[in-house]
Amino acid sequence: MNRDHFGSSFGVLVAMAGSAVGLGNLWRFPYLMGTNGGAAFIILYLVMVFVLCLPLLYCEFVVGRRTQTNLITAFSQYAPGSRWSIVGILGLLGAFFILSFYPVVGGWSIDYIVRAIGFEFRDMAAAPAAEFEQMFQQTMAFSPRSLIFHFVYIALTAFIVLAGIRDGIERYTKWMMPLLFLMVVVIAIRSILLPGAQAGLDFLFKPDFSQITGKTFLDALGQAFFSLSIGCGSILTYASYVKRSENIIKLSSMTALTDTLFAIIAGMAIMPAVFAYGLSPGEGPGLLYAVLPRIFAEMPMGSWIAILFFIILFIAAVTSSISLLEVLVSVVIEKLRWSRKKAVILMTLVCWVIGIFSVWSSEIFDFFNNFSSNVILPLGGLLLVIYVGWVADFRIFEDEITNAGRLHYNRFYLRWVRFVIRYLAPLIILTILLAGVL
């Protein structure tokens, strides 16, 4: 079968960064940082991303590009004869789980775009916090309105994936990602210029290590996996459409850098405003939807900033959910030999139906949200490093990241990567997972 491919290195980068940058950066990261003490959490998170998770990103990239096939087949091909396609199945489960709550939050972003365009926040200026909380409760409640927005979100995701890699995913992420960056920078500048913003910057950049607990480690690890899109095959699947001449280390590092930069800028857009208006950063998952609109209601030019912000949120979310849907779709296309259209429709329907349960119950929603990032993704990552580092011949990995010896890297860096993949990552992930679960 002739497989679709990305047209350029830039196309690969924006697609991968598009997968990484998402609700994880704008919704999850701020509320986790807010409940875990700010700067100290960020430092822990940075260590998790660059020490631990970047080599894992290489692993997913390598397995995908080497095998040029879907998640399930990739694991049986990369180490022939092993029974490790189970890692792929766990990945599929992870993609299903995330797609069971992610589009719900994506649906809220559409709901809030509609509210912002109708100047609803401006009309609520000076209203007490409880009213904003109530608005968010209303948005989340199981109602025709929330079901419609959930559906619209999933349908838009399906629309892009339907068009394929080059004509769909690459074509849309190419303009969405730069736009996203520009918009979030505008909001960060607006936020930092508010009187009283300094306290928010202190919260972001002055660490207080006494805030770190065992739970902080698990949250930081789970968030690093979630934010970089590793552990459930999104990067692997995109990498399977990447040409052999591309530079894996460069593209992975740029993806991780973009994602982290975006998370920090998102923090700078949100926290200074939260502090400037005397609100609490430790609000939890409602931070973005119950607290920010209150700020938009009072901020000069807030109505416009609100529209911009929720559009950003929506774009960031869509460029991530397409990467999850593509994981499922590519498996169905190649394993069942279905057309792309049929595969997209089937998988979208399945995710839509499971997602309805998350719209219906916040317990189910929380379960999918926390279980996928704090258990399935790290577990997927753990199996991935054992697979690449021990089950398969490690020389394949080395061959692949150097493009069969054509690219040269510092010897010590390559040794370090090998050490992380074979020893450090399995040890740390296992410890944190066990400590978190027990």
Tell the smallest beta-carbon distance from residue 28 to ligand PFF (Å). Answer: 7
Tell the smallest beta-carbon distance from residue 320 to ligand PFF (Å). Answer: 4
Nearer to ligand PFF, 259 or 298 (CB): 259
Express the helix, strand and coil content of the chain in percent, nearest 5 each.
80, 0, 20
Nearer to ligand PFF, 124 or 236 (CB): 236
Q: Which of 195, 182, 104 is nearest to 150 (CA)?
A: 104
Tell the smallest beta-carbon distance from residue 393 to ligand PFF (Å). Answer: 26
Tell the smallest beta-carbon distance from residue 126 to ligand PFF (Å). Answer: 33
Q: Which of 108, 11, 40 is nearest to 319 (CA)?
A: 11
Nearer to ligand PFF, 320 or 348 (CB): 320
CA 329, CA 218: separation in Å to the nearest integer?
30
Residues 282-304: b if buried by 16+ CB within 10 A, e if exposed = ebebebbbbbbbbbbbbbeebbe
CA 400, CA 403: separation in Å to the nearest integer?
5
Q: Which of 54, 38, 431, 24 is nearest to 249 (CA)?
A: 54
Nearer to ligand PFF, 121 or 368 (CB): 368
Q: Which residue type is seen at 215?
A: K
Burial (CB count within 10 angstroms: exposed 0-12, middle 13-18, buried 19+), residue 437: exposed
Angle at 22 between CA 18 and CA 25, to 5 degrees: 125
Tell the smallest beta-carbon distance from residue 58 to ligand PFF (Å). Answer: 16
Tell the smallest beta-carbon distance from residue 380 to ligand PFF (Å). Answer: 9
Q: Which residue of this chain has its Cβ atom nearest to ligand PFF in the complex?
A: 24
Q: Which stretch in 18-26, 63-71, 198-206, 340-348 sits in contact with ligand PFF by CB under 6 A?
A: 18-26
Check if the beta carbon of residue 423 is closer than 8 Å to that of residue 369: no
Check if the beta carbon of residue 229 is closer than 8 Å to that of residue 20: yes
Q: Which stretch in 20-28, 201-209, 303-311, 430-438 sits in contact with ligand PFF by CB under 6 A?
A: 20-28
Tell the smallest beta-carbon distance from residue 317 to ligand PFF (Å). Answer: 7
CA 291, CA 129: separation in Å to the nearest integer?
8
CA 184, CA 27: separation in Å to the nearest integer?
13
49 part of the interface to ligand PFF, by CB under 6 A:
no
CA 390, CA 138: separation in Å to the nearest integer?
50
Tell the smallest beta-carbon distance from residue 414 to ligand PFF (Å). Answer: 26
Q: Is 392 helix (H, G, I), strand (E, B) or coil?
A: coil
User: Hey, CA dihedral for 390, 393, 394, 396, is it positive or negative?
Assistant: negative
Nearer to ligand PFF, 99 or 417 (CB): 99
- Which residue of 12, 14, 19, 150 would you call a contact of ligand PFF, by CB under 6 A? 19
- Which string of x and - marks every residue 193-232 that binds ligand PFF (by CB under 6 A)? ---------------------------------xx-x--x
Tell the smallest beta-carbon distance from residue 262 to ligand PFF (Å). Answer: 9
Nearer to ligand PFF, 146 or 369 (CB): 369
- Which string of x and - marks every residue 313-332 that binds ligand PFF (by CB under 6 A)? -------x--xx--------
CA 403, CA 249: separation in Å to the nearest integer?
10
Nearer to ligand PFF, 157 or 216 (CB): 157
36 part of the interface to ligand PFF, by CB under 6 A:
no
Nearer to ligand PFF, 224 or 428 (CB): 224
Instruction: Retrieve residue 391's tokens.
Output: 């089950």
Tell the smallest beta-carbon distance from residue 386 to ligand PFF (Å). Answer: 19
Number of residues that bind ligand PFF (CB under 6 A): 15
CA 314, CA 327: separation in Å to the nearest integer?
20
- Which residue of 15, 54, 90, 98 would you call a contact of ligand PFF, by CB under 6 A? 98
234 part of the interface to ligand PFF, by CB under 6 A:
yes
- Which residue of 13, 15, 16, 25 would you call a contact of ligand PFF, by CB under 6 A? 25
Check if the beta carbon of residue 392 is closer than 8 Å to that of residue 348: no
Tell the smallest beta-carbon distance from residue 319 to ligand PFF (Å). Answer: 9
Instruction: Retrieve residue 296's tokens.
Output: 């938009």
**Residues lying near ligand PFF in the complex (CB under 6 A):** 19-20, 22-25, 98, 226-227, 229, 232, 234, 320, 323-324
